[in-house]
Amino acid sequence: MESDLLTREKVFRDPVHNYIHVQHRVILDLINTPEFQRLRRIKQLGTTSFTFHGAEHSRFGHCLGVYEVTRRICDTFARNYPSTSPDDGLWDDQQRLVALCAALLHDIGHGPYSHTFEHIFHTNHEIWTQKIITDPSTHVNQVLQKVSPNFPDQVASVIAKTYPNEQVVQMISSQIDADRMDYLLRDAYYTGTQYGMFDLTRIMRVIRPYAGGIAFNIEGMHAVEDYIVSRFQMYQQVYFHPVSRGMEVILLQLLHRAKYLYEQGEMAGFEMPSLLIPFFENQITVSDYVRLDDDVLNTYFNLWRDHPDAILRDLVHRFLDRRPFKSIIFAPEQQNKIHYLQELVQNAGFNQQFYTAINNSFDLPYDLYRPSSKEPKTQIEFQQHDGTLEELSTISPLVQALSGRQSGDHRFYFPKEMLAAPESSTFAPYLREFQAQIVNQTLK
């Protein structure tokens, strides 16, 4: 059986979890596939490293981390809550391998500079994750096939959240899952910020299975509360950082310009991005998809420093040499006035289509279960001593204060040069006026 255990456990040294323990041959074989090794060449946080220079960590490390957190959850469940009859709502350790494989592979479909890339080329990493798992041409699929012919489909259905065992689905995807627990700790470590820290060891003590999925023992309420607050702070301080977004906007416009030039027949010779053509043409195969990584894009960007198109050349310079666009926060009511700022940018000699952008950041730190919402979320449940369940925000005033509240902002991005003479004579006062209106609105 390919699901057999290794004769000797293999370990990977990890700065967040200390050791990642690999016990199954199939897990080691998956790590050694080209599709998984590609994740070494995709940065976990994209343009965030332009703000927090330590944040050069890759999706490879994150995926190993999510695997390790899942493995520890399985260990806790198997030790303390083993199922003895099919309907007791406890943990069936036969589910371990599918959970571990889904955890390891959950981000295998990420493209380079994920969010920007998805935005331009209309790809979706969750869909591509499922394709890479189920397409017979991939090494990942061939490794999974050896467990059983329908095993790839089972693993993909965990990612699609259609797998019948809710405990397995919630381990990988819920408001407190192995994915989030790993990325908060990992991103806090590599950015050098302390906000993302929380007590994972304590959470591993109090997490438990129940018939509806995963819950926590009431003694662990403060550890979970701290995790929610950490998550909120990481979004505010790291993920939504306006400078990282200023670089993301440049990347987005740079790819837009490259696509435009390709469509105009103005990409030729060594500047032709051959590996991007399937994406420009919107005819993408799995093998096209897995050829891409951050290094491929950065190499094209570097070649385009000599491109005849002045806009592309300039955007590439801004990206590679870190010249982020500046931004201003605006209220949704001011959206209809943005065009005036865009005109000023255009009048200053910048093509506004490529030199301005609107970027919004929004997140719910914790959401109550709303089955009618577009993406209903599982809530975090606590098991009381009498066995009844209580939802987190009903017992934590701190989480109650954050529940269902969107945090984030709308920003208008523009070239920094707009703040300098001579165009600034109209632009800067207008920005000030704009900002003053926002301050007044917030005060109201």
Binding site for Ni ion (CB under 5 A): 107, 179
Q: How far is the CB of 60 from Ni ion (least distance, A)?
A: 12
Q: How far apart are CA 364 and CA 232, in angstroms?
A: 8
Based on CB atoms, which residue is closest to Ni ion, 45 or 284?
45
Q: Which residue type is seen at 37?
A: Q
Shortest Å, Cβ 107 to Ni ion = 4
Give whichever of 25 and 125 is closer to Ni ion, judged by the CB atom.
125
Q: Residue 110 or 318: which CB sits closer to Ni ion?
A: 110
Nearer to Ni ion among residue 45 and residue 290 (C-beta): 45
Q: How far is the CB of 22 from Ni ion (least distance, A)?
A: 19
* Least distance CB 323 / Ni ion (angstroms): 30
How many CA atoms within 13 Å lie on the side-chain side of 159?
26
- Say whether 411 sits in a helix, a strand or coil: strand
Q: What's the CA gap between 114 and 93, in Å, rounded? A: 34
Measured from the CB atom, is 182 or 271 closer to Ni ion?
A: 182
Cα–Cα nearest to 55, from 191, 236, 241, 197: 191
Minimal CA–CA distance to 365: which of 410, 394, 402?
402
Tell me how far, at minimum, the Cβ of 183 lies from Ni ion, in Å.
6
When the beta carbons of 126 and 226 are compared against Ni ion, the nearer one is 126
Pairwise CA distance, residues 316 & 313, whole Å: 5
Tokens read off for 19: 């050791």
Amino acid at 245: R
CA distance 204 to 137: 37
* Alpha carbon 122 to its chain's center: 16
Q: How many Cα atoms are found within 13 Å in the side-chain-facing hemisphere of 440?
A: 8
Q: Per DSSP, what are the bridge partners of residue 82?
A: 91
Comparing CB distances to Ni ion, the nearer of 129 and 378 is 129
State the Rg of the chain over Cα: 24
At closest approach, how far in Å is the CB of 1 from Ni ion?
A: 29
* Residue closer to Ni ion, measured from CB, 163 or 319: 163
CA atoms within 13 A on the CB side of 118: 12
Among 244, 311, 240, 262, CA closest to 121: 262
Nearest distance from C-beta of residue 66 to Ni ion, angstroms: 6
> Whole-number minimum distance, CB 135 to Ni ion, in Å?
21
